[in-house]
């Protein structure tokens, strides 16, 4: 494939460009082989400096395409192209899921006997989406956008179901078997229900009536509301009746064919294809309630303390009278801010949707019980007939530390506990912001400990708690190894069910191909079963004490640089493409929650993305080396080594940091500094950070006993050996492009240079993986 790419470059751009691509590639390979220290990139840099803007684009594209080809070679038969989102449901999972469930059913029978089979309507997997519902810091997601996405999803589901049901209708449209006297040879309750539904003289007893805006239609004409399936239970009832009838009349083979697949699709995807989760910041709800309380003349909600807020919301929930008439905010612009109006209109939009169209309401930046109760009250006031389940998202280290106390207080409020359907509560654990706030090691330990505390709170109040796990890359606190990531969760936090977020690149990687999607479903199933049936004792007190030390030391070292050093933000913005990322069309949301602010306002994905581009990967390892070195130098050395050898969760954490360090390259980061950083203070900080990086590599080796990083992961080392020269080229091209862009803003070359930058960003992301 590489040869074909070279032929294509020569054909479209000429032999001269191909020679330049090959020359740069040769320099990169030679520099990797010689490993001549800080000067190893000099020849590449001098070569790239002579390229025109147009040549930067073409050469960058060549190396980016090669890495794309390498990824395709590692997993062929791609089904998805570059698109994500619901397309993965339509083109891959719609067929893969029922096929996987058939295999799971067959495995159960072969392993456990014919008496054990997957129930017909079983749905081990449920899918949901943020797209069109996540308005956290994203002004582009308006109530109308969510409304349109909900409708679009129902239309997509209707089209898919109509196609499937028309296929089975053709094969099932004949009459059931009859005897010599013309009477039906089989009688059953199912047959009676069918006659009641379609008429006793119907020549097509297995026809299914038309569904509008979310179902299937018989040929023909207009119909009344009675003929419309508005929720999946109505459609499922007819499908189950047909299945039972076929089985009762001796047609079990036909019943267990495509009909079973459709039943399982309806069970998994319903009439909405994929429900949307709504997400919004807690401050937005407080602002809306503040406008309401001032409109009512009862004071300022924002000025009340937590006890006053909880007391007022509790009283309002016990009242049947709405706080404010719908639309009153439009006539009182002097009180209701535009953001408060948007929030209130969002709840009105929620009240209009079918029950299946929306899933959970996730509250980001959640810090208190009133933050959760506020959403309950706003749903009630908007007339939401079946309120969305409310899921607090605990993100920062401080929020995680207070999560158990918050939920304990909440479950002690009768008005709230009485609102929980089936006493079920969903809690989302924010890996990303806690890792950005405190560093990977401290955040990981806080997540582990605080989840255990939440489990105990749930037991205390007899609440069935489901954890919503945010995934993502290692720097964001996630674990790209799905099986280990599930099995190594804190004991008692999975219990046979959990929710998980698959982010951007991982959707494509895990579900973009039919074989990979089936493999991913298999891994999730195996991991949940393994976690449920594996006895994993809690860490002993000695291990906990050492983890507390590691956490404290690493957090202090991380924050000393990221929060406490005034040189850090200028260095970060100069030495990485962070500022340029916000200008390019990358990601589904703005790079920052708010236009102002420093690192704390930056979203986790661009935070990781920027550091990955420069190959420094700082968020993953900063603070880890200092913590390990201090404990290895103390009386706890043997305990730390025992923890690595015997405690799976801790070993996984260290191994993931080691894996990311094996992909890092401080000489590349140094090159970005040389080209882009002019402030002497920032240059000095860069040198200090690279020394910390190198020291962390050595600390990991000292703990693991490895001579080279990730020495046991032979596949990773082999892949990176192939990819590194090409990523090196892209890094040098990117640094040169950034230099020219920053020196020539608003020039005629800006658009061409932006194209080159976007190409290098995509290429480095493909080469490195673990980007967001």
Calculated CA dihedral for residues 658, 661, 663, 664, nearest 10 degrees: 180
Strand partners, 129: 276
H-run or E-run covering 501: strand 499-501
CA distance 438 to 741: 33
Q: Which residue has the tokens 């429900």?
A: 275
> Is the Cβ–Cβ distance between 554 and 439 less than 8 Å?
yes
Q: Cβ atoms within 10 A of the Cβ of 340, count?
A: 20
Q: Which residue has the tokens 């080392």?
A: 717
Alpha-carbon dihedral sign for residues 132, 137, 139, 140: negative
Q: In 257-318, where does DSSP find H-type helix?
A: 258-269, 282-296, 306-318
Q: Which residue has the tokens 């970060």?
A: 572
Instruction: DSSP for 357-425, please give it.
Output: GEEEEEEET--SHHHHHHHHHHHHHTT-SSPPEEEEEE-SHHHHHHHHHHHHHHHT-HHHHTTSGGGEE
- Annotated catalytic residue 436: yes
Comparing CA positions, the residue from 172, 314, 196 lying closest to residue 246 is 172
List, in order, residues 6 or more apart from 470 with CB less than 8 Å away. Answer: 428, 429, 430, 431, 432, 476, 477, 478, 500, 501
Q: Cβ atoms within 10 A of the Cβ of 712, count?
A: 11
Comparing CA positions, the residue from 701, 696, 703 lying closest to residue 711 is 701
Question: Encoding tokens for residue 91?
Answer: 């083109």
Q: Which residue has the tokens 């890495």?
A: 67
Catalytic-role residue among 265, 436, 450, 663: 436
Helix (H, G, I), strand (E, B), or coil: what is residue 470?
Answer: strand
Angle at 149 between CA 121 and CA 216, to 5 degrees: 45
Which DSSP letter does residue 176 get? P
Calculated CA dihedral for residues 557, 561, 562, 565, nearest 10 degrees: 140
CA distance 233 to 358: 16
> Is the Cβ–Cβ distance between 481 and 443 less than 8 Å?
no
Q: Is 419 exposed, middle or buried (0-12, 13-18, 19+ CB in 10 A)?
A: middle
Catalytic residues: 436
């Amino acid at each position: 494939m590489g040869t074909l790419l070279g032929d294509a470059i020569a054909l479209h751009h000429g032999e001269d460009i191909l020679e330049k691509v090959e020359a740069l590639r040769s320099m990169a390979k030679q520099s990797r082989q010689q490993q001549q220290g800080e000067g190893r990139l000099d020849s590449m840099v001098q070569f790239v400096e002579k390229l025109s803007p147009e040549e930067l684009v073409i050469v960058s594209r060549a190396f980016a395409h090669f890495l794309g080809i390498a990824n395709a070679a590692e997993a062929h038969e791609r089904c998805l192209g570059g698109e994500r989102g619901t397309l993965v449901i339509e083109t891959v999972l719609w067929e893969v899921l029922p096929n996987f469930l058939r295999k799971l059913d067959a495995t159960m029978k072969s392993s456990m006997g014919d008496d054990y089979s997957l129930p017909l309507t079983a749905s081990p997997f449920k899918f949901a989406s943020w797209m069109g519902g996540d308005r956290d810091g994203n002004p582009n997601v308006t109530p109308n956008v969510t409304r349109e996405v909900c409708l679009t999803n129902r239309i997509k589901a209707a089209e898919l179901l109509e196609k499937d049901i028309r296929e089975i209708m053709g094969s099932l449209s004949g009459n059931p078997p009859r005897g010599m006297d013309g009477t039906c040879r089989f009688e059953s309750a199912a047959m009676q229900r069918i006659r009641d539904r379609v008429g006793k003289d119907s020549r097509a007893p297995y026809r299914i009536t038309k569904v509008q805006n979310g179902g299937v239609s018989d040929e023909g004409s207009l119909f009344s509301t009675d003929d419309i399936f508005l929720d999946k239970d109505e459609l499922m009832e007819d499908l189950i009746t047909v299945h039972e009838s076929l089985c009762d009349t001796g047609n079990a083979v036909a019943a267990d064919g495509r009909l079973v697949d459709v039943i399982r699709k309806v069970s998994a995807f319903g009439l909405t294809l994929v429900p949307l989760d709504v997400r919004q910041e807690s401050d937005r709800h407080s602002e809306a309630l503040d406008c309401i309380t001032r409109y009512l003349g009862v004071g300022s909600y924002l000025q009340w303390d937590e006890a006053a807020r909880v007391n007022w919301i509790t009283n309002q929930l016990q009242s049947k009278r709405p706080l404010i008439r719908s639309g009153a905010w439009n006539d009182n612009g002097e009180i209701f801010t535009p953001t408060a109006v948007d929030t209130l209109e969002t709840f009105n939009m929620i009240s209009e949707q079918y029950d299946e169209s929306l899933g959970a309401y996730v509250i980001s930046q959640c810090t208190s019980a009133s933050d959760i109760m506020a959403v309950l009250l706003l749903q009630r006031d908007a007339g939401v007939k079946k309120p969305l389940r409310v899921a607090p998202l605990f993100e920062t280290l401080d929020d995680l530390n207070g999560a158990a106390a918050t939920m304990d207080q909440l479950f002690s409020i009768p008005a709230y506990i009485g609102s929980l359907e089936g006493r079920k509560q969903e809690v989302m654990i924010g890996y990303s912001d806690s890792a950005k706030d405190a560093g990977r090691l401290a955040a990981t330990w806080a997540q582990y400990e605080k989840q255990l505390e939440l489990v105990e709170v749930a037991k205390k109040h007899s609440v069935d708690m489901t954890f919503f796990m945010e995934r993502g890359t290692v720097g964001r606190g996630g674990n790209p190894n799905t099986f280990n990531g599930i099995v190594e969760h804190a004991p008692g936090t999975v219990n046979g069910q959990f929710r998980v977020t698959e982010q951007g690149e991982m959707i494509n990687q895990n579900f973009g191909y039919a074989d990979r999607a089936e493999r991913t479903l298999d891994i999730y199933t195996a991991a949940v079963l393994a976690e449920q049936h594996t006895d994993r004792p809690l860490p002993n007190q000695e291990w906990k004490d050492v983890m507390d030390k590691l956490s404290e030391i690493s957090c202090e070292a991380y924050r000393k640089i990221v929060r406490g050093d005034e040189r850090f933000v200028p260095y970060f913005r100069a030495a990485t493409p962070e500022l340029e990322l916000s200008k390019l069309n990358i990601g589904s949301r703005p790079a920052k929650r708010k236009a102002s602010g420093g690192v704390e306002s930056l979203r986790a994905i661009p935070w990781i993305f920027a550091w990955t581009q420069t190959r420094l990967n700082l968020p993953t390892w900063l603070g880890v080396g200092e913590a390990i070195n201090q404990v290895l130098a103390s009386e706890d050395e043997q305990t730390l080594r025992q923890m690595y050898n015997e405690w799976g969760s801790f070993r996984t954490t260290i191994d993931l940091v080691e894996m990311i360090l094996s992909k890092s390259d401080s000489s590349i980061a140094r090159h970005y500094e040389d080209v882009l950083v002019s402030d002497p203070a920032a240059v000095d900080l860069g040198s200090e950070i690279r020394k910390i990086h190198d020291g962390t590599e050595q600390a990991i080796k000292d703990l693991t006993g490895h001579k080279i990083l990730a020495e046991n992961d032979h596949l990773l080392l082999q892949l990176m050996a192939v990819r590194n020269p090409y990523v090196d080229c892209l890094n040098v091209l990117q640094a040169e492009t950034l230099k020219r862009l920053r020196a020539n803003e608003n020039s005629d070359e800006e658009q061409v240079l932006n194209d080159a930058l976007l190409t290098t960003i995509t290429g480095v992301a493909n080469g490195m993986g673990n980007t967001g």
